[in-house]
Amino acid sequence: MYSAEELAARVGITPRMVRYRARLGLLRTAQRRHRPFTHHDEVALILIREVESEYNASPDEIAFALRALTTRRLAEQIRHIGEMYGRVDALAALNFEQEKALQLLRTRRVTTSGDERSPRA
């Protein structure tokens, strides 16, 4: 169990940045205010930072993307906007991206002890 300060030091960011990502719902601890952060939060934060860096995405954008993946109506509206402007080839592109995201999640699953699991077949 870690405080925001301890988790920040372990990951290389400020405690304020940890709390901000928690408020956005990117860390499990966000659902339990004033509770210590866990190893799961540390692993999630490392992955979030990788996505931020690789895709030049803000924490807000990642939180919104998660919401879009888990909210059917929102996903449909975004897909429709993409189709209207020719940025999405109907359902094919969304399904491809969703499958990639699910595969990434499968390969990044962690146990409570922090050991990575291999992808499920």
Q: What is the 3 state secondary structure string of 29-92? A: HHHCCCCCECHHHHHHHHHHHHHHHHHCCCHHHHHHHHHHHHCHHHHHHHHHHHHHCCCCCHHH
pTM comes to: 0.63
Q: What percent of the chain has pLDDT over 90?
A: 38
Give pLDDT tens digits for 57-112. 999 999 999 888 888 898 888 888 888 877 766 656 556 667 777 777 776 654 44
- At 93 the pLDDT is 57
Q: Taking every pair of C-alpha atoms in the chain, what is the biggest distance, in angstroms?
A: 47
Q: What is the pLDDT of residue 49?
A: 94
What is residue 78's predicted lDDT score, i.e. its pLDDT?
Answer: 85
Give 114 or 76, the one with higher predicted confidence.
76
